[in-house]
């Protein structure tokens, strides 16, 4: 069984996944980190050199492999994993799927503070607004993509957890409570 974390960039999938795994005494895999290790390149380099479709194929192959492995672990995914129907199905078949939510403002604040952002996280929208400041452009990208992706997160998730103005401990506690509820419901 895998417990997968999905959600937009900066909602805390990598951070919360590691803590959740620790609390549950389970292994932890961050799909993006494993993909980068195997490729020997940062995701931003893969995007820049080969383009997004090549990254999405590497991502889909890895999700397929991980979802079908026999091990139990917590799996943090990349924000765009829900774009492909085969990824959504693979994650659902592997176990509970937790959707971490945050508002566009929270996401932008976190990404601005995150040192990994500049090196690792490629810009995802080709469309740029010439009259926008970098901050406005980022908020525009996050708001636009979040609206587009929300139905897919919703469709894939077993439940969601809001992360705005909450620390790791509170978020992990709510995930654990909801996992228990899910188990109780499945036994009814």
Ligand X SMILES: O=C(O)C1=C[C@@H](OP(=O)(O)O)[C@@H](O)[C@H](O)C1
Binding site residues, ligand X, CB under 6 A: 9, 13-14, 32, 43, 78-80, 121-122, 124
Residue 15 CB, shortest distance to ligand ADP, in Å, is 3
Counting Cα atoms < 13 Å in the Cβ hemisphere of 156 gives 30
Determine whether the annotation assigns residue 17 to a binding site. Answer: no
Consecutive H or E run containing 170:
helix 168-187
CA distance 156 to 6: 9
Residue 32 CB, shortest distance to ligand ADP, in Å, is 7
Determine whether the annotation assigns residue 109 to a binding site. Answer: no
CA distance 129 to 107: 20
- The torsion defined by the Cα of 80, 41, 31 and 169, in degrees rounded to 10, comes to -90
> Do residues 140 and 129 lie in contact, with contact meaning Cβ atoms separated by under 8 Å?
yes
Of 4, 11, 14, 156, which lies in the binding site for Mg ion, with binding defined by CB under 5 A? 14
Counting Cα atoms < 13 Å in the Cβ hemisphere of 104 gives 16
Determine whether the annotation assigns residue 79 to a binding site. Answer: yes
CA distance 89 to 72: 18
**Does 36 interact with Mg ion (rule: CB under 5 A)?**
no
Residue 186 CB, shortest distance to ligand ADP, in Å, is 27
Q: Which of 11/158 has CB closer to Mg ion?
A: 11
| Contacted entry of ligand X, ligand ADP, Mg ion, none for residue 122, CB cut-off 5 to 8 Å set by kind | ligand X
Determine whether the annotation assigns residue 14 to a binding site. Answer: yes
Determine whether the annotation assigns residue 121 to a binding site. Answer: yes
Residue where the block lists tokens 């077993």: 158
Binding stretches for ligand ADP (CB under 6 A): 7, 9-15, 76, 110, 113-114, 163, 166-168, 171
Residue of closest CB approach to ligand X: 78
Buried/exposed code over 161-179 (b: 16+ C-beta within 10 A; e: otherwise): bebeeeeeeebbebbeebb
Determine whether the annotation assigns residue 13 to a binding site. Answer: yes
Q: List binding-site positions.
A: 10-15, 32, 56, 79, 121, 149, 166
Q: List binding-site positions for Mg(2+).
A: 14
Give the residues lining the site for Mg ion (CB under 5 A).
13-14
Q: List binding-site positions for substrate.
A: 32, 56, 79, 149
């Amino acid at each position: 069984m895998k417990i997968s974390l999905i959600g937009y960039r900066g909602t805390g999938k990598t951070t919360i996944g590691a803590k959740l795994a620790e609390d549950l005494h389970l292994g932890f895999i961050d799909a993006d980190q494993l993909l980068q290790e195997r490729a020997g390149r940062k995701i931003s380099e893969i995007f820049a050199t080969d383009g997004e479709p090549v990254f999405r194929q590497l991502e889909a192959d890895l999700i397929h492999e991980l979802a079908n492995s026999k091990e139990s672990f917590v799996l943090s995914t990349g924000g765009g994993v829900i774009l492909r129907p085969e990824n959504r199905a693979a994650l659902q078949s592997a176990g509970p799927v937790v959707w971490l939510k945050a508002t566009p403002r929270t996401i932008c604040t976190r990404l601005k503070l995150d040192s990994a952002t500049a090196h690792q996280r490629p810009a995802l929208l080709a469309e740029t607004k010439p009259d926008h400041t970098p901050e406005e452009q980022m908020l525009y990208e996050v708001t636009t993509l979040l609206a587009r992706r929300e139905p897919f997160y919703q469709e894939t998730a077993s439940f969601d957890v809001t992360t705005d103005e909450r620390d790791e401990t509170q978020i992990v506690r709510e995930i654990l409570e909801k996992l228990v509820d899910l188990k109780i419901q499945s036994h009814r």
